[in-house]
Amino acid sequence: MRVVIAEDHALLRDGLTRLLRAFDFDVVASVDNGPALLPTLVTHRPQVAVIDVRLPPTFTDEGLQAAIAARTQIPGLPILVLSQHVEPMYARELLSTPHGGVGYLLKDRVFDVGEFVDAVRRVAAGGSAMDPEVISQLLARREPLAVLTAREREVLGEMAEGRSNAAIATKLRITEKAVSKHINNILTKLDMPPSDDDNRRVLAVLAYLNA
Amino acid sequence: MLAGAAGIGLALTNLPLLVLSIASLALVPVPFLGMALVPWTTNLVRKRTDLERRLASRAGVPVARPYHPPPERGVPGGWRRFRWTLTDPATWRDLAWLVPGAVVGIAVGAIVVAIPLYGLAGLTLTPVWIWMGTDWYGYGTVWSVDTFGEAVLCVPQGAAILAGGLWVAPWLRRVDASFDRLLLAPTRAAELRLRVTQLTVTRADTVDAQAAELRRIERDLHDGIQARLVSLGMMIGLADELIDRNPAAAHEMLAEARKSSGTALVELRHLVRGIHPPVLAERGLVGAVRALALSLPVPITVDADLSGRLDTPVESAAYFAVAETLTNVVRHSRAQHAWVSLCHDAGRLAMVVTDDGAGGADSAAGTGLRGIERRLAAFDGTMTLSSPPGGPTVITMELPCALSSPRTTHSFATD
């Protein structure tokens, strides 16, 4: 699978490259600054890009801006954004570009190599991967969620992070059937249309939380 | 008209004040009494001039107080207070103002009263003329009012004069106020001295706040991250020891180490957010306030229009002032909704935070609002609070500052 990496810290760039190569990703290009990123993405058209929010020369949010610009030029280009901190506002901006295939994770998540690689694959496949921190911040400020049971809220959180039913079942140690029952309850309680498509469902949940 | 009459009354008090002042100065050689009397009469004069300054400000000509700050341990009747009174040039300027101030005040007051009164006379002339018969000297352009027609002619003239008199009154009061400013406002030197006093206070506050902030950061680093890194190093060392003899335990150790480094990162992130939120560096004030509004449990509408970025220190002060205010809203106001408006106009950044909560906020009661005031004062900014019981609470913060051209273009709207 062809990957482009954008990260200005040499250590982290090498680390990411090595990590992804170890899991049979093909790192076709890695850039260390903002201006070079968009052209690289357009030329290489990777199957997934892993991008740091803050890049030279201004060290603001150039990575994020380039990611959004790239997704407007190449609709649905899968992009996983990494950052030292997460802002629900940035997640909202990323999600405002149409089609799935977006991820937004704290850099710390790289520590759990298995989880991280899984997230990259999910994003590449058009799914999503949202940081638990983003989701918990979003959940914390939604009062209507009081109608959900504790378990349902847990499932909603996992779902919003981008996990499939099977993954949620494994994580929460319950059966897949129980998961889909919880999900149906959640969708009914929150007045959301039922959907079998995992990705579309995740986007709907995120849109709901972001509203 | 009433103001004019009051002005005359006030101006008349200048003369007894002048007499008192001269008498007290003449009595200076009298032991004990002299030194006590001068500050006392000066105080009376200052009460009078302060009132005049307030009236001038209300008429649209702001006049600042020019006096030296009182000595810290000056007991009434003591040498320090006596010297403080006499060495302040403003004391002498006040005295110099008493007579010309009275003259101008009385003149302006008389005009302000007389013109509308003459207008009223014209308006009421017709019935008076009928009642008195034909003997009437005249009014306006009609001299000797002989016929009923001529009497009626006085009415529109009276109306015009009344309207004119009322119309020029504020203008005349401004003339009076401008004259007051000549002697009652601080001289350039006094202005600078007041500015130095103010700067000394705000600088001391700022330095204190900075030092406290540094101490807090040092403590957080020392107790939190430093300790975590030490334990992390120990765990990795231990894992290194164990890896051949007991691989399972080594794995466990490494998993522990990974968790510990994650916690260290979380703590570091909190600390960084408290020092300078990353989103502020990335998006500037408006973006950071929007991000903050999104993360708070109370719905907040942000209405912001800034065409550029502020200087980093000002931006940071502005952000933390808004953040602290919003924290107060969330914690204390029981508000259902809050509004933040940010706009930059004529070299000033205005930040207004409104909530529909319970009101009754008091900047004297909490340290939070005092802290905001101090933070803003370092940049000559101000904060005003309006919070009647029952709400709404409106906090208006202003910072003089310039906008620079935006560093990057943000074409992606956040809402």
ipTM of predicted assembly, 2 dp? 0.81
Q: What is the pLDDT of residue B406?
A: 60
Phi, psi of A3, rounded to the nearest 5 degrees: -125, 145
The mean pLDDT value for A101-108 works out to 92
Evaluated on CA atoms B50, B53, B59, B62, the torsion sign reads: negative
Is the CB of A87 inside 8 Å of chain B's CB atoms? Answer: yes
- Please check whether residues A93 and A156 belong to one and the same domain: no
Residue in A61, A111, A112 closest to B283 by CB: A61
Same domain, A96 and A196: no
At residue A70, the pLDDT reads 93
Q: Looking at domain B283-400, does it have CATH number 3.40.47.10?
A: no
pLDDT of residue B411: 40
What integer pLDDT is reported at residue B408 of this predicted model?
46
Q: How far is CA B232 from the centre of its chain?
A: 51
Domain B199-275 in this protein, CATH class: mainly alpha
State whether the Cα torsion A62-A63-A64-A68 is positive or negative.
positive
- Burial code of A40-74, b = ≥16 C-beta within 10 A, e = fewer? bbeeeebbbbbbbbbbeeeebbbbbbbbbbbbeee
Q: Look at residues A109, A130, A151 and tell me which one is the last residue of a structural domain.
A: A130
CB of B271 less than 8 A from some CB of A: no
3-state helix, strand, coil in chain B (%, to 5): 65, 10, 25
Q: Domain total for chain A?
A: 2
Residues A17 and A102 in one domain: yes
Say whether both A59 and A152 belong to one domain. no
Hey, CA dihedral for A74, A76, A78, A83, is it positive or negative?
Answer: positive
**Is A15 found in the same domain as A119?**
yes
Domain membership flag for residue A137: no
Identify whether A15 is part of a domain: yes
Residue A135 domain-assigned (yes or no): no
Handedness of CA A59, A132, B263, A87 (dihedral sign): positive
The answer to whether the CB atoms of B295 and A137 lie below 8 A apart is yes
Question: Which range among A53-67, A124-138, B189-203, B395-409 shows the weakest confidence by mean pLDDT?
Answer: B395-409
Does this model's pTM top 0.95? My answer is no
Which residues share a beta bridge with B344?
B349
State whether B278 and A85 contact (CB < 8 Å).
yes
Please indicate, yes or no, whether residues A121 and A36 belong to a single structural domain of this protein: yes
Disruptive mutation site among A71, A82, A85, A92 for chain B (greatest number of B CBs within 10 Å): A85
- The residue range of the domain holding A192 is 142-210
CB atoms within 10 A of CB B341: 15
pLDDT tens for chain B, residues 1 to 415: 677 788 888 888 888 888 888 888 888 888 777 778 888 888 889 999 998 888 888 888 888 888 887 777 767 667 888 888 888 888 888 888 888 888 988 898 888 888 888 888 877 877 777 777 666 667 777 677 677 777 777 788 888 888 888 888 888 888 888 888 888 888 888 888 888 888 888 888 888 888 988 998 898 888 888 888 888 998 999 999 999 999 999 999 999 998 888 889 988 998 988 888 999 998 999 999 999 998 888 889 999 988 888 998 899 999 999 999 998 888 888 889 999 999 998 889 999 999 998 888 877 766 678 888 888 988 999 999 888 888 799 999 999 988 887 654 444 433 3
- Closest alpha carbon within chain A to B406: A58
Q: Give the whole-angstrom CA distance, residue B112 versus residue B173.
A: 8
In this prediction, residue A175 carries a pLDDT of: 92
- Chain A residues within an 8 Å CB radius of B255: none
Q: What pLDDT, on the 0 to 100 scale, is given for residue B412?
A: 41
